[in-house]
Structure 1
Amino acid sequence: MTGFFAGRTLDGLGRDLRSGAATAAGLLARALESVDPSLNAFVIVDAEGAAAAARTADEELAAGRDRGPLHGVPVAIKDIIDVAGLPTGMGSDHFAGHIPERDAACVESLRAAGAVIVGKTTTHEFAYGASGDTAVNGPSRNPHDPSRISGGSSGGSAVAVAAGMVPLAIGTDTGGSVRIPAAFCGIAGFKPAYGAVPTEGVFPLSVSFDHVGVLAATPADCWTAYQVLKRPSPGDAEPAPVPGDIRVAWVESGPVERDVAETVRRLVPDALPVRLDLRELRRIFAAIQDSEAYEVHVERVADAPELYQPVTLDRLRRAGETPGWRYVRASRERARFVEEAAALLRRHDVLALPTVPITAPEIGRLECGLGPVQPALLSLTCPWNVLGLPALSVPAGTVGGLPVGLQLVTAAGREELLFALAAGTAA
């Protein structure tokens, strides 16, 4: 955690920029100096394009034009999100040399806010994995222990923030791909409600579950970035008031390593235990995601299977075996659980549980104390993608020297509750 931005917040950087204590060009230089190739956070760094954006940001501030809290701030973008003029490879040989002509919608929002795009970050191939260790450019590495996974699939974005290379990074989250690496790398990660941030220009994994999310050192910085990225809505002018006493429920989540559960539970000791069938939600998630992922890739699997990483190809072929009736039934059952979760969130303001039930395993490890690694990584995060609810992972301390996360979930439109609670609970 030696990069310049370690321990720095967007609020502090903004004060420095506006007081003249820092410049956008100077912050960019610090970001470029902080990039640690050994952690494999970045696929490409766009020093020239970022320098031009930083010059513009400085010129605008000098002329009195302030675009807001991200003006002049270095930001990294996950490599399944289009950035005009930069390669977008999806972590795969299938898209070697692919250069989009247009920015994704979320990148357009960042540029309009004056952010400086530093480069593209490592993604698990096609975002189809929660470990972050399968990509044509190799695994992103956990800055707390480079022999361990970063988590994925937005691993490079999490590593770039956790190691202080940038103060903010954008990722995607289909089953936990922002929250899992945030927890493993000891930072905050926010998955907004489904559809709250546009996904145009993001390569699809599972269109029913795909979300754009943010990773930052603190929950407050995630909130700041979310305000820039979210779609305007009629309720924006009058946010719901945050109650003085937030009612928190602890979701009995099933298998969790004991030290992880005890460490996370200490942050919300008064939360009342409740039950939601996460096991069944995981089954729904698997049926829908597998069907939709295979639909995206069916021609590539048939025509050029050799261009996939072997692990990805095997997952896709198994996904293609999902029968149509299972997808239809899972879609119907999903609607029932949406209603059940809504009823639960009428009785409680926020649901709490660990983000991941284990600490970060070693790179390449396939089994953990709870069974196969990949299902364990997704087990507590994917249900909230099925339900489309906003979910925030905040640092909850360490177990054996490795970070763990507390996951907070609420109803769409009540996101302020997550961040108000996180302000008082984050370790």
Structure 2
Amino acid sequence: MKGFFIGRTLADLGDDLRAGRTSAAALLERALESIDPGLNAFVTVDAEGAAQAARRADEELAAGADRGPLHGVPVAVKDIINVAGLPTGMGSALFDGYVAPGDAACVRLLREAGAVIVGKTTTHEFAYGASGDVSVTGPSRNPHDPARISGGSSGGSAVAVAAGMVPLALGTDTGGSVRIPAALCGIAGFKPAFGAIPIDGVFPLAESLDHVGVLAATPADCRTAYRVLTSSADRPAPDEMRMAWVDGMAPVDAEVEQVVRAAFAGLPAERLDLPEARRIFAAIQDCETYDVHADQVERVPDKYQPATLDRLERARRTPGWRYVRGLRERDAFGHTVARLLDRYDVLVLPTVPFTAPPIGRRDSALGPMQPALVSLTCPWNVARVPALSVPAGFVGGLPVGAQFIGRAGAEHVLFAAAERFQASRG
């Protein structure tokens, strides 16, 4: 089934709404009709609440009250982000029956912009995994091959956009959880600079690494959503950009690297110690994540999925000195990235080192699945800089992503580079 929103940008939808060619109520109806239960993108659909929001959006537009580019647009929200009155299950039996008493800050911003919240999307349990196939509600499934992972942990949000169920979705990104499923499902996914979008009302994974991000079909739509969520003004980007390829000593499937690298032939290559960044990431994430779950692991371990509990037990064994050292080393790595971004406007590398593997697989040709999936994305959470994944092509019929890295405060340059890349690829 091809969802209604495939090939329709936020700008297209906005033009149709304001010209009277469609309505928020009609767009919601299309969204609900496009939901494919077989892909398991949604865990909760709020048809009644969304209908009320759509009616209000239409009434406001008719009265001349226009809240901006997301007014009347259907949006999905990852199920670790609170939406008032809806369950926040986080993919876990531990939160079965929990209903959020209020909206997360990012959801309030969406509502203030006139967006219509369709429902909650499947997440890897507690967002603690990059495959998207460990959840009490089952795996989210890749629209290009439902036997393969969507990537995670924001897998349901990526699937909802990639399959055309909605044009925009919220996700979270601690080590790549927006960009990984975006790459594997063939859409765009943006992780902003740390703290750019508020995380109040989002269940924490590793608080000093957690980011709220956006998923959409194109980098231009990610730009639009980011501007709304941060109230940031857009600026023109320079005609010429200084760009470099990141060579980070990380293994990448040869065909994937060839597809991405071919689009950037002639760029200078700069080496970063990505393995060291991954070690820093692992130390910080292990300790902060176990802190969140320590009491529940002791009290009700059987409520966790076995794979999640195994990861938490391993995280428990990370010594405190590694965490303290990791915080110090994070600052040093951030300074290294900042110096590189003083020399270049944008850095480029693949998003994920291989295409989507089958659901349930725990090893890859490049090593254990979880660390391999985040190997090219987690360094930018450590550095706390904005990172954007966009479609770069296909290998064996499955999508491949290119990842663009930029400076905090220069997001307009990052988006422009990605948009020009997409335009050059047709």
TM-score, reference length from structure 1: 0.98
Whether contact under 8 Å (1:179, 1:188) holds in the other structure is: yes
Q: Tell me the distance in 2 between the aligned counterparts of 1:423 and 1:381.
A: 20
Q: Tell me the distance in 2 between the aligned counterparts of 1:378 and 1:337.
A: 17
Whether contact under 8 Å (1:31, 1:166) holds in the other structure is: yes
Q: Which amino acid aligns with 1:244?
A: D
SS at match of 1:352: strand
Q: Tell me the distance in 1 between the aligned counterparts of 2:400 and 2:203.
A: 29
Pairing 1:57-206 to 2, within 5 Å after superposition: 57-206=57-206
Q: Tell me the distance in 2 between the aligned counterparts of 1:300 and 1:20.
A: 52
Counterpart pick for 1:348 among 344, 347, 351: 344
Q: Tell me the distance in 2 between the aligned counterparts of 1:403 and 1:213.
A: 20
Q: Which amino acid aligns with 1:99?
A: V
Q: Tell me the distance in 1 between the aligned counterparts of 2:268 and 2:29.
A: 48
The Cα of 1:286 is off from its aligned counterpart by 0.1
Q: Which amino acid aligns with 1:86?
A: L
The Cα of 1:242 is off from its aligned counterpart by 2.1
2:410 is equivalent to residue 414 of structure 1? yes
2:256 is equivalent to residue 244 of structure 1? no
Match for residue 252 of structure 2? 256
Match for residue 316 of structure 1? 312
Q: Which amino acid aligns with 1:372?
A: P
The Cα of 1:338 is off from its aligned counterpart by 1.0
Q: Which amino acid aligns with 2:302?
A: E
The Cα of 1:229 is off from its aligned counterpart by 1.0
Gaps of 5+ in 1: none
Q: Tell me the distance in 1 between the aligned counterparts of 2:34 and 2:330.
A: 44
Q: Tell me the distance in 1 between the aligned counterparts of 2:380 and 2:275.
A: 12
Match for residue 379 of structure 1? 375
Q: Tell me the distance in 2 between the aligned counterparts of 1:166 and 1:244.
A: 33
SS at match of 1:146: strand
The Cα of 1:240 is off from its aligned counterpart by 6.2
Counterpart pick for 2:271 among 272, 275, 280: 275
SS at match of 1:49: helix
SS at match of 1:148: strand
Match for residue 49 of structure 1? 49
Q: Which amino acid aligns with 1:133?
A: D
Superposed CA RMSD in Å reads 0.9
TM-score, reference length from structure 2: 0.98
Summarize deviations over 1:33-76 as a string: whole Å, max 9, x none.
00000000000100000000000000000010000000000000
Q: Percent identity?
A: 70
Q: Tell me the distance in 2 between the aligned counterparts of 1:199 and 1:366.
A: 30
Q: Tell me the distance in 2 between the aligned counterparts of 1:169 and 1:240.
A: 24
SS at match of 1:58: helix
* Greater than 3 Å deviation, 4+ residue runs: none
Of stretches 181-190 and 364-373 in structure 1, the one that deviates more from structure 2 is: 364-373
2:34 is equivalent to residue 39 of structure 1? no
2:298 is equivalent to residue 302 of structure 1? yes
SS at match of 1:44: strand
Q: Tell me the distance in 2 between the aligned counterparts of 1:167 and 1:271.
A: 33
Q: Tell me the distance in 1 between the aligned counterparts of 2:415 and 2:332.
A: 28
Whether contact under 8 Å (1:396, 1:406) holds in the other structure is: yes
Of stretches 268-277 and 289-298 in structure 1, the one that deviates more from structure 2 is: 268-277
Summarize deviations over 1:189-229 as a string: whole Å, max 9, x none.
00000000000000000011000000000000000000111
The Cα of 1:241 is off from its aligned counterpart by 5.1
Whether contact under 8 Å (1:73, 1:115) holds in the other structure is: yes
SS at match of 1:397: strand
Match for residue 19 of structure 1? 19
Q: Tell me the distance in 2 between the aligned counterparts of 1:308 and 1:337.
A: 34
Q: Tell me the distance in 2 between the aligned counterparts of 1:30 and 1:270.
A: 44
Q: Tell me the distance in 1 between the aligned counterparts of 2:57 and 2:340.
A: 46
Of stretches 365-374 and 402-411 in structure 1, the one that deviates more from structure 2 is: 365-374
Q: Tell me the distance in 1 between the aligned counterparts of 2:320 and 2:373.
A: 26
The Cα of 1:245 is off from its aligned counterpart by 0.9
Counterpart pick for 1:293 among 255, 275, 289: 289
Summarize deviations over 1:110-157 as a string: whole Å, max 9, x none.
000000000000000000000000000000000000000000000000
Summarize deviations over 1:212-267 as a string: whole Å, max 9, x none.
0000000000000001112x5xxx56x66522210111000321000000101122
Whether contact under 8 Å (1:240, 1:414) holds in the other structure is: no
2:358 is equivalent to residue 359 of structure 1? no
Q: Tell me the distance in 2 between the aligned counterparts of 1:116 and 1:168.
A: 11
Of stretches 144-153 and 240-249 in structure 1, the one that deviates more from structure 2 is: 240-249
Q: Tell me the distance in 2 between the aligned counterparts of 1:287 and 1:425.
A: 35
Whether contact under 8 Å (1:194, 1:209) holds in the other structure is: yes
2:399 is equivalent to residue 403 of structure 1? yes
Whether contact under 8 Å (1:282, 1:379) holds in the other structure is: yes
Q: Tell me the distance in 2 between the aligned counterparts of 1:66 and 1:294.
A: 45
Q: Tell me the distance in 1 between the aligned counterparts of 2:93 and 2:48.
A: 25
Whether contact under 8 Å (1:195, 1:211) holds in the other structure is: yes
Gaps of 5+ in 2: none
The Cα of 1:418 is off from its aligned counterpart by 1.2
Summarize deviations over 1:400-421 as a string: whole Å, max 9, x none.
0000000000110011111111
Q: Tell me the distance in 2 between the aligned counterparts of 1:63 and 1:293.
A: 48
Whether contact under 8 Å (1:72, 1:116) holds in the other structure is: yes
